Amino acid sequence: MNAPSPAIVAQHAVRRLPRAALWLLSLAYVLSGFVGRTAWKNDDLEAFGFIWELASPLAGERSHWLSPTLLGQTDVNLALMPYWLGALAIKALPWLAPELAARIPFVLLLLLTLICTWYAIYALARHPQAQPVAFAFGGEARPADYARALADGGLLALMACLGLARLGHEGTAAVSQLACASLVFYALSNHTRHRLTALVAMTAGMLGLTLSGAPTMALLLGLGGTAVLATGTRARALDLGLMLLITWMCVTLAGSLDLWRWRLQADRGAELVSWGKLLLWFTWPTWPLVLWSLWRWRHALRRPWQTPHLALPLWFALVTVGGTWLTGLTDRALLLSLPALSALAAFALPTLNRGLSAFIDWFTLIFFTSCVLIIWVVWVAMQTGLPRQPAANVARLAPGFEPTFSIWTFALALVATLCWVALVHWRVGRHRAALWKSMALPAGGATLCWLLLMTLWLPLLDYARSYAPLSRKLSALVPPADCVEYIGLTRAQVTGLRLHAGYTFTPHTDTGNRCSWLFMNSRVQALAVTDQLLDHWELISSVQRPTDGNEWIVVFRRKQP
């Protein structure tokens, strides 16, 4: 006998979240962080360097489309697709700045992630085993309305995840991997409802993961997810055959392009605490809801083949979280777990009691309101010098930073803050029965804080995270667009100086007089400076990146014969 569903939901509790509000919230979340800022160190700048060199080879360097290079080095992750998309966008939109054009595909990829997650949760919630308890005299939630409410809540939970904010708004392979994993999640969730669409999405997702540097993840998610579904449904032989064909295509593609990379680090026992801390903050606020969902639906999990609405996202979560544990505890690997965790969190919403829901609301309200106040107070301190302590902290952490005032960013930040006040008023006042109500404040607060950071604090963050200030300092010593040799500079440093100062870089060699200037990383100066080098070069100065006391560029000028 099947255990009764823990979800008890009446029809009035599945009122629809207004589509206009959901779209505006999603667009505000996606666009802030992609538009208006410059590329930041390190991965964001490195990825843009690969894209830029692929779209417009610099200093005579040729970057092959099947093997993109930067400074003559290939990407260790061999992520081809994100570089292709960025380079094609630069070529297709020559009237836009290369930085902005290269980000447009990643804007679309993040939107695709949100859309796929919504439709995946909607399909899973339509499964018979996911339905709420039927009332004796009727009045229970209708399946379509129930699924829509859960999908709304799951999407809000995804946007509320703290780890998605920064990493989801970078032009790196992590964003393309996230979008492709979401496509696979969508395809497996909809395989019985929309077979053709699911097949196309599965093909695109698995091939995209393969070309984004994660072929092993593609095989695990695709084959494992198919196995989960095949055990609980009457899988057609054609579907299984097509799945094997897609798998063969991925294996063949990865082998022909030499995309396989193995970085397993199984001995992680000493770093268990670090892994736990990463999970706690990166997946907040979904992980408490995931645990609650697994507990309340524990009886259904005894037969996972009959409950794909739990088994499928659980498989995705286990693979991605386990991959994080085995490949170096990187937050970029954990990024792929967020859609599945959001789906599991969505199934906790119809089982929350009033006390737990109130705790989530009050904690979220206090946390995000405090964050909003801090952001505004620090911004006022930057503009006016009062309060003195926040102003002194900014001056100490970002020496030389001069704040600017923009009426447009101020107006946008003010309107967003007023929307937060209206959302809080709505939450504590009316519509208490809405199923997705517990995720409204977390998603709204996370979006607001991210938007405020990308408006009020954006000049400060650009100053602290980009190479524009260092480029301005170097331009005072070395004319922009000059030829410069380098020793020990990172790929992010070279890309940043190329972008902001227009230097033409070439590696230093002992033979040949190519450039009049030499830049050297201070960390390799003691090893690189030799008598022979000093015979040909004159030390001019050492320039520090203002917000990093350990990052110095040593400038040499070639001696005249």
Say what percent of the chain tops pLDDT 70: 92
61 within 8 A of 69, measured Cβ to Cβ: yes
Q: Provide the pLDDT confidence category of residue 59 given band limits of 50, 70 and 90.
A: very low
Where residue 386 falls (left for φ over 0; alpha for ψ -120 to 50; beta otherwise) is beta
Give dist(CA 279, CA 302) in Å, integer. 26
Q: Provide the pLDDT confidence category of residue 307 given band limits of 50, 70 and 90.
A: confident
Say what percent of the chain tops pLDDT 90: 58
Q: Provide the pLDDT confidence category of residue 430 given band limits of 50, 70 and 90.
A: low
Flag whether pLDDT at 51 surpasses 90: yes
- Give mean pLDDT, residues 163-184: 95
| pLDDT score recorded for residue 111 | 97
Q: Provide the pLDDT confidence category of residue 231 given band limits of 50, 70 and 90.
A: low
Q: What are the tens digits of pLDDT across the range 330-359? A: 788 899 999 999 999 999 999 998 888 888
Give dist(CA 365, CA 98) in Å, integer. 39
Domain boundaries of the chain, sorted by first residue = 11-351, 375-465, 468-558
- Give mean pLDDT, residues 280-300: 93
Q: What does DSSP say about strands 69-70 and 73-74: parallel, antiparallel, or unpaired? A: antiparallel
- Give mean pLDDT, residues 274-299: 91
| pLDDT score recorded for residue 441 | 92
Q: Mean pLDDT, the chain, as a whole number?
A: 88
| pLDDT score recorded for residue 64 | 82
Q: What are phi and psi of 560, to 5 degrees?
A: -75, 140
Flag whether pLDDT at 22 surpasses 70: yes
- Concatenate the DSSP letters of all residues of 359-409 into one string: HHHHHHHHHHHHHHHHHHHHHHHHHH--SHHHHHHHHHHSTT------HHH
Q: Provide the pLDDT confidence category of residue 248 given band limits of 50, 70 and 90.
A: confident
| pLDDT score recorded for residue 1 | 40
Query: Could you tell me the CA-to-CA distances from 203 to 13, 111, 181, 242 in Å, in that order?
Result: 37, 19, 11, 9
| pLDDT score recorded for residue 263 | 54
Angle at 374 between CA 466 and CA 396, to 5 degrees: 50
Closest CA to 358 of 437, 443, 449, 446: 437
- Give mean pLDDT, residues 8-19: 86
| pLDDT score recorded for residue 513 | 66
Q: Provide the pLDDT confidence category of residue 328 given band limits of 50, 70 and 90.
A: low
Angle at 549 between CA 546 and CA 550, to 5 degrees: 125
Q: What are the tens digits of pLDDT across the range 392-423? A: 999 999 999 999 999 999 999 999 999 999 99
| pLDDT score recorded for residue 261 | 63
Q: What are the tens digits of pLDDT across the range 490-524? A: 999 999 999 999 998 988 887 666 789 999 988 77
Most confident of 70-84, 274-288, 387-401: 387-401
Q: What are the tens digits of pLDDT across the range 87-107? A: 999 999 999 999 999 999 999
Select the more confidently predicted residue: 233 or 109.
Answer: 109
507 within 8 A of 519, measured Cβ to Cβ: no
First to last CA, the chain: 93
Give dist(CA 469, CA 461) in Å, integer. 12
**Residues whose CB falls within 8 Å of the CB of residue 353, separated by 6 or more in sequence, listed in order:** none
Burial class (CB in 10 A: 0-12, 13-18, 19+), 326: middle
Select the more confidently predicted residue: 431 or 421.
Answer: 421
| pLDDT score recorded for residue 401 | 95
Closest CA to 471 of 48, 455, 462, 56: 462
Give dist(CA 423, CA 416) in Å, integer. 10
Q: Provide the pLDDT confidence category of residue 533 given band limits of 50, 70 and 90.
A: confident
Give dist(CA 420, CA 464) in Å, integer. 28
3-state secondary structure 498-534: HHHHCCEEEECCCCCCCCCEEEEEHHHHHHHCCHHHH
- Range 42-75 burial, b when 16+ CB lie within 10 A, else e: ebbbbbbbbbbbbbeebeeeebeeeebbbbeeeb
Structure tokens at 58: 């610099």
| pLDDT score recorded for residue 432 | 61
DSSP-H helix ranges across 93-128: 98-125
131 within 8 A of 5, measured Cβ to Cβ: yes
pTM (two decimals): 0.94
Structure tokens at 13: 């509790």
- Give mean pLDDT, residues 173-197: 91
- Range 224-259 burial, b when 16+ CB lie within 10 A, else e: bbbebbbebeebeeebeeebeebbeebeebbeeeeb
Flag whether pLDDT at 134 surpasses 80: yes
Residue 292 per-residue DSSP state? H
